[in-house]
Amino acid sequence: MTKLVGISGSLRRSSYNTALLRAAAGLMPEGADLAIHTIRDIPLYDGDAEAASGIPAPVSALKDAIAAADGLLLVTPEYNNSIPGVFKNAIDWLSRPAADIPRVFRQKPVALIGASPGPFGTILSQAAWLPVFRTLGVTFWSEGRLLVSRAGTVFDQAGALTDAKIKEQLATFLRGFVAFAQSSRRDG
Ligand SMILES: Cc1cc2nc3c(=O)[nH]c(=O)nc-3n(C[C@H](O)[C@H](O)[C@H](O)COP(=O)(O)O)c2cc1C
């Protein structure tokens, strides 16, 4: 079984990105599983709090989940043509302490998708993640690309993905990423 961890970068109840992540979990290829995790309980990064109290429990739990997974799928919104602060904040906490970065991130297969109600489908936000990935030493899977634009037209009121073309693109993306994560496993 190839195990992925998936994280949405939005806290909004009706988030398109969280809806996209849920759709991904339902479209995983056979023999693979996508566990949805949340950044909701991760506090704002504060170096004083880290020095006084160490790594918060929700951060440690998510770090362990990523370390144990064969791959990580990030579903990113775009704010002001870049990464939303809440999402970057979560990744910043997950990169602490720096000595733990190799365990959690180094050579971890990572894929990125995103949804926006606008016409460009998070293209600038996705590009803004690249220096972060390089810094953490992840193995970014760049073969597939999924930019969900005009998100208001591809999900129904309940947040289900209803657009057949996007569904097919998402399933194809997931097949490619799962194959990559599977082939990157140290045990083969
Ligand atoms: C502060 C802020 C800045 C935004 N900037 C962008 C942007 O640069 N590009 C874009 O496509 N959408 C932008 N949006 C719109 C978001 O794409 C939209 O709110 C989207 O629904 C957020 O993702 P979510 O549905 O997963 O919460 C912005 C929204 C906010 C709140």
**pLDDT truncated to tens, each residue of the chain (188 aa)?**
999 999 999 999 999 999 999 999 999 999 999 999 999 999 999 999 999 999 999 999 999 999 999 999 999 999 999 999 999 999 999 999 999 999 999 999 999 999 999 999 999 999 999 999 999 999 999 999 999 999 999 999 999 999 999 999 999 999 999 999 999 986 65
Record the tokens describing residue 146, joined without a space: 């999924």
> What is the residue type of 137?
G
> What is the residue type of 68?
A
Rg (C-alpha) for the chain, rounded Å, is 16
Is there an atom of ligand 1 within 6 Å of 17 CB? yes
Kindly report the backbone phi and psi dihedral angles of residue 144, in degrees, each rounded to the nearest multiple of 5, phi listed first.
-100, 155
Nearest-angstrom CA–CA distance, 129 and 61: 23
Separation of 156 CA from ligand 1 center, angstroms?
18
Angle at 118 between CA 124 and CA 42, to 5 degrees: 60
Separation of 93 CA from ligand 1 center, angstroms?
23
Q: Determine how many CB atoms are found less than 10 A away from the CB of residue 168.
A: 11
Q: Is the preceding omega at residue 97 within 30 degrees of 0, hence cis?
A: yes
Question: What is the model's pTM?
Answer: 0.98
Separation of 116 CA from ligand 1 center, angstroms?
6
Mutate to test the pocket of ligand 1, among 7, 12, 81, 116 (most ligand atoms within 8 A of CB): 116
